[in-house]
Structure 1
Amino acid sequence: MKDTIVTTKKRILLTGASGTVGFETLKHLMKNPNYEITVFDVKTRKSVKKLAPFRNRVEIVYGDICSASEMEKASQNKDVAIHLAAIIPPFADVNPELAYKVNVQGTANLIHALEEKSPQCYLLFSSSISVYGDRINNPEISVNDPLKPSPGDQYGETKVLCEQAIVKSNLSWSIFRLAAIMGNHKISKLMFHMPLDTPMEICTPEDTGRAFANAIAFQDQLENRIFNLGGGEDCVISYRSFLVKMFDAFGLGKANFPEKAFAEKNFHCGILFDGDQLEEIIRFRRQNLADYFEMVHQQVNPFQKKITILFRNFIKRWLLSKSEPYQAYRNGNEEEMEHFFNKNEKKVIEPVYQ
């Protein structure tokens, strides 16, 4: 008589599954038949529609992460928790109180719930490269570098507080500080906050989701450690070059804004000098910059691109009107100019759109 092999299923809790990285993580988790997955997300029209295809395959719990009692219900008997729920920029800057409530207090609720209901749970947390602050003058970033979010970066500050709470918890944990995760980004005033000469390392949502899913199998090598997560040397580009390629893909022509449209300091991003450490353990990278820009071109609607080409000068004037650095420069606002620029200048260069 042959021995019967009993496979114990891992019970996974995933927060923020309707977000860009969360959705990719969920898709990767679904590939493993030995995972029993519970999704915890805020109930919106978007989240219900996005998660609907999975409702017969995973347990979907809609609730408020700011509610301790609701988190306790979702956190019972879990082996792994992947915590991706957060208020991100630019909304985190618009509503810093909500960002603190969701990001910091919500994380505290999750930690407490897991400690009470699943004390052996392994917590995977998505932090951000923003915790390192302005690195334009020293762009090579290592995980042991000081955490100094740029002034006014509410999101970066909440991530530092979350990390501190996790490290002090009684749980096993790993923290991944994410590079610039490019996918489903909408144009906003935040695009003008990054200095044009910033070296940036990106990672695609698909690779990032794969990283969180893969990490579960390597808990013994990852637990109680912090890693930088990026796409590697094939995913490094200057912000100036990135904008040129994106504007071309969308039909906006040249990214020919005046230099003072963009801040010169007090943002974040850089090159993850030690990012290969995580890749060597969990092998999550599959895509590079060429893959990313190919995806962008495929996602652009040809008809919409024609319309954009027709109105691109108007669109760029409208975008420029959203630039906070440019408005500060034109209005001579000394306090804001000090925040955005290395030195104050009075000359204003108007854009010439082609």
Structure 2
Amino acid sequence: MTDAASTPAPDDRPILVTGSCGLVGTAVLHELGARGLPAVAAARGKKSDRKLLAALGRRYPVAPVPAWADLTDRDAVRAMIAQHRPRAVIHLAAVIPPAAYASPGAARRVNVDATHHLLDACRAVPETPRFLLASSVTVYGPRNPHTHPDPVTVDTPPAPSDLYGAHKLEAEAAVRDSGLDASILRVGGVLSPAGDYGVDADVIAFEGMLPGDGRIHTVAVADVARAFVNAALRPDNDPVYLIGGDATHLIRQRDIGRAITAALSIPGTMPPTRPGDPGDDAAWYGTDWMDTARSQQLLQFQTVSFDELMAQVSAHVGWPRHLLRPLVPAIRLFMNRMTPYRRRSGVYAQPWEFAQERWEQPLPDRR
């Protein structure tokens, strides 16, 4: 007969998710809801946040509990953690490029300061939660595939050259120094069937400035959510995971726009891209292919191929996408006018020169 006192009770404490109403956060809440796991959804409390969480509450038997909090407010964060006593914190809240370039002060408050607030609050409760930080492949800095032919690994030295990568690396250091049971998940290019593929001048400029032949490791947002939840529930973990899709997601930057516009039934509307300079390692962006074998072995998260993801994009938009077909010439003209290299001389992409002009980003160190 088993001694009941020696059998650990199941941990029914919730998993707290920051950035819960963002792209990945929403997917994480869906994953938790589908598994019947209690969740606390940390968000600012905007009207759209309340509407989203209400819809999730109607969909799943275990509704996420809202926690309206400003993560840049140390006292508010401490009160939130003390109230909900989570078993794990999945920290997704972030200001990403190009918004991070346009508002560097706000980006630092969310990307770095809020991480410190959460870590301090987690250390202050009697049962410290497991901590999962959403980091990024951008911590590795510019990746010239001509001089760095191998994919990055967890042992590849980080060397960020932009503000966002530097923020993430600083947040990683804080997590390592926290003394908490923690893991860092460096995530590749997240794509969603329900992504916002509308017109945003900064996003179009950002995507257009990148070398078209730059390597990027994409991943379906549902698989990212699965990785975070599985990491939160594992009794033992690696300190760093690399989160990208299966081998079909090892693509080039130019492939993303081409595939998405084809899925939206507006093929051929993406303007030509410029290649990266093979002789200038600093002239590339902080994306690359990743060795995800170990992460997949432990977390078992890769379920959606790139082609399946594009089919999901088409299915999500549905029949209205066919109404866009007559507009292909006009969309192509508009996109060509929006390209950052329309009136710029040269052959190769100049991402950092363009970022400096548009968002006052510092040029990378070429020493």
> Normalised by the size of structure 1, how large is the TM-score?
0.84
Counterpart-to-counterpart distance in 2, 1:132 and 1:142: 10
Displacement of 1:248 in angstroms is 1.8
Counterpart-to-counterpart distance in 2, 1:73 and 1:54: 24
Which residue matches 2:33? 30
Call closer, same or farther: CA 1:337–1:288 in 2, change over 3 Å. Answer: closer
- Per-residue CA deviation, residues 283-342 of structure 1 (Å, 9 max, x unaligned), is 111111121111111123433442x32232332332233333444x15x8xxx687369x
- Summarize the alignment of residues 1-354 of structure 1 with structure 2, pairs less than 5 Å apart: 6-33=9-36, 35-55=37-57, 57-76=63-82, 77-118=85-126, 120-137=128-145, 138=148, 140-150=151-161, 153-183=162-192, 184-186=195-197, 188=203, 189-222=205-238, 225-255=239-269, 257-260=271-274, 265-273=283-291, 275-306=292-323, 308-327=324-343, 329=344, 339=353
Verify the 8 A CA contact 1:127 1:177 in the aligned structure 2: yes
Counterpart-to-counterpart distance in 2, 1:122 and 1:242: 34
Displacement of 1:136 in angstroms is 3.0
Counterpart-to-counterpart distance in 1, 2:209 and 2:259: 18
Displacement of 1:66 in angstroms is 0.5
Verify the 8 A CA contact 2:215 2:250 in the aligned structure 1: yes
- Per-residue CA deviation, residues 228-268 of structure 1 (Å, 9 max, x unaligned), is 111121322222333322222223331562444x7653312
Structure 1 residue runs of 5 or longer lacking an equivalent are: 342-354
Aligned residue for 1:220, secondary structure, equals coil
Question: In structure 1, what residue type is equivalent to 2:335?
Answer: L
Aligned residue for 2:228, secondary structure, equals helix
Question: In structure 2, what residue type is equivalent to 1:24?
Answer: A
Supply the RMSD in Å over aligned alpha carbons.
2.6
Call closer, same or farther: CA 1:83–1:259 in 2, change over 3 Å. Answer: closer
Verify the 8 A CA contact 1:17 1:84 in the aligned structure 2: yes
Equivalent pairs counted in the alignment come to: 328
Aligned residue for 1:93, secondary structure, equals helix
- Per-residue CA deviation, residues 140-160 of structure 1 (Å, 9 max, x unaligned), is 11112122223xx32222111
Counterpart-to-counterpart distance in 2, 1:99 and 1:85: 10
- Per-residue CA deviation, residues 2-37 of structure 1 (Å, 9 max, x unaligned), is 98675341332111111111111112122344x432
Counterpart-to-counterpart distance in 2, 1:266 and 1:284: 29
- Per-residue CA deviation, residues 185-232 of structure 1 (Å, 9 max, x unaligned), is 43522211321112222110111101111112323133xx11111112
Displacement of 1:172 in angstroms is 1.4
Identity %: 23
Verify the 8 A CA contact 1:78 1:118 in the aligned structure 2: no
Verify the 8 A CA contact 1:325 1:337 in the aligned structure 2: no
Verify the 8 A CA contact 1:103 1:158 in the aligned structure 2: yes
Call closer, same or farther: CA 1:338–1:293 in 2, change over 3 Å. Answer: closer
Call closer, same or farther: CA 1:338–1:128 in 2, change over 3 Å. Answer: closer
Aligned residue for 1:143, secondary structure, equals coil
Counterpart-to-counterpart distance in 1, 2:183 and 2:120: 17
> Normalised by the size of structure 2, how large is the TM-score?
0.81
Counterpart-to-counterpart distance in 2, 1:258 and 1:296: 23
